[in-house]
Structure 1
């Protein structure tokens, strides 16, 4: 994947922005025809031209909001600026607190943590269908519904893990031949050894993943999360 692309389906706000961008062409065409025919004074034509140009730029930028990925890194595109972070500089992608000028917006947002400790807050935020004041569409931000938000976060994390895996393979040391007289270990035995070390079955790892997602969404409290995590790990 050499080019930048959004690895998730578009939300409603972005779809409306795309439609609005297409709709700008209609009044622009009408104004051009009126000006050519002399039905529109020059000062008024200039005013409408500047107004349409500003609306077109803003709508186009709104339609491009989101998070993009490629083989080289991850890119957060907001209304006023674009931030690109190479995969090697990404420490974690998680759900954090959405803020504007240091003020808490009262809802989560997808955050990219750099390896140097700085944070990149993306425009993707988690809305709530039952609380309209936290789901309101805002210029420069995308408050999508909870299921879509969780899906985007899971997808971006998967791309991060794939990038880490590729970097580990490309930067790993070359395989050394086994020393004389030293028994070799098959890949199957190595896999069993890894399973024995972490002590978790595939079913336990799946349950832990599902529990973690519920905790991130706020469906499980910290105490319930800790108790359920201990119960899963104690299962044989």
Structure 2
């Protein structure tokens, strides 16, 4: 998997951004031609309008590209203003942190990539509210997705990170990490027989079940044997 791809399904916000991009790409040239050809429109105003259309189109393109991408080489975060790429060997942790803008707490959680050098990379993926339509926090430049979808994305990204660490350790000539039956140190992707999101991988419902089982095990509600039995059923249902 050398190419970069989103390891999760798109939510409605990203889908609407892509739809807006298609509409803008079709409408913007038409509007620009109409404004330029109208003799009653002053030239400075026509130029200003075309610049405004170009800025809107650029923002729409960037908004449609927001998110987190993965490949065999590392993980990439795309926000409205910057793209940050971190090799897997430089990723210390992927967790849910505080969403901020210019140092101000937005009152949300955001998926954060912790680098081994201590630098945190805040992604555009944020945990939204159940009553999102009644909140007045800005959405441009970030993806505030529903809590269940947010948790699913976080679990998937952690699974890719855990799977990448032993592979890169082996390529570097270091000791490869041995995956043990201990459920507390094995990623959800490994527990499902090494399958990842994508063609032939576990479905979204199965990944959600694995996440729920893992959370119960971490709280002590499930023993190691009970967790292993439940995961074996999910692996069998996925045809692994």
1:210 maps onto 2:212 in alignment: yes
Tell me the residue number matched to 1:95.
96
Structure 1 stretches lacking a partner, 5+ long: 176-189, 216-224
- Does the 8 A contact of 2:128 with 2:147 survive in 1? yes
CA deviations on 1:185-234 (whole Å, 9 max, x unpaired) are xxxxx99xx55xx598x9xx99996365479xxxxxxxxx7xx4287479
Structure 2 stretches lacking a partner, 5+ long: 193-208, 227-240
- Give the SS at the match of 1:139: coil
The offset of 1:53, in angstroms, is 0.7
Residues 134/122 of structure 1: CA separation in 2 closer, same or farther (3 Å cut):
farther
Residues 147/44 of structure 1: CA separation in 2 closer, same or farther (3 Å cut):
same
Which whole-Å CA distance do the structure 1 matches of 2:163 and 2:225 have between them?
A: 30
TM-score, normalising length: structure 2: 0.71
CA deviations on 1:52-99 (whole Å, 9 max, x unpaired) are 011111111111111111111111111111111111100111111111
Cα-Cα RMSD: 3.4
The number of equivalent residue pairs is 203
Which whole-Å CA distance do the structure 1 matches of 2:86 and 2:159 have between them?
A: 16
Which whole-Å CA distance do the structure 1 matches of 2:100 and 2:73 have between them?
A: 28
The offset of 1:30, in angstroms, is 3.5
Query: What are the equivalent positions in structure 2 for 1:63-102 lying under 5 Å apart?
Result: 63-102=64-103
Tell me the residue number matched to 1:182.
none
Tell me the residue number matched to 1:17.
17
The offset of 1:38, in angstroms, is 4.3
- Give the SS at the match of 1:229: coil
Which whole-Å CA distance do the structure 1 matches of 2:136 and 2:214 have between them?
A: 24
Query: What are the equivalent positions in structure 2 for 1:6-85 lying under 5 Å apart?
Result: 6-24=6-24, 25-36=26-37, 38=39, 40-85=41-86
Which whole-Å CA distance do the structure 1 matches of 2:175 and 2:156 have between them?
A: 31
The offset of 1:149, in angstroms, is 0.6
TM-score, normalising length: structure 1: 0.72
Residues 81/3 of structure 1: CA separation in 2 closer, same or farther (3 Å cut):
same
- Does the 8 A contact of 1:135 with 1:144 survive in 2? no
Between Structure 1 and Structure 2, whose CA radius of gyration is higher?
1
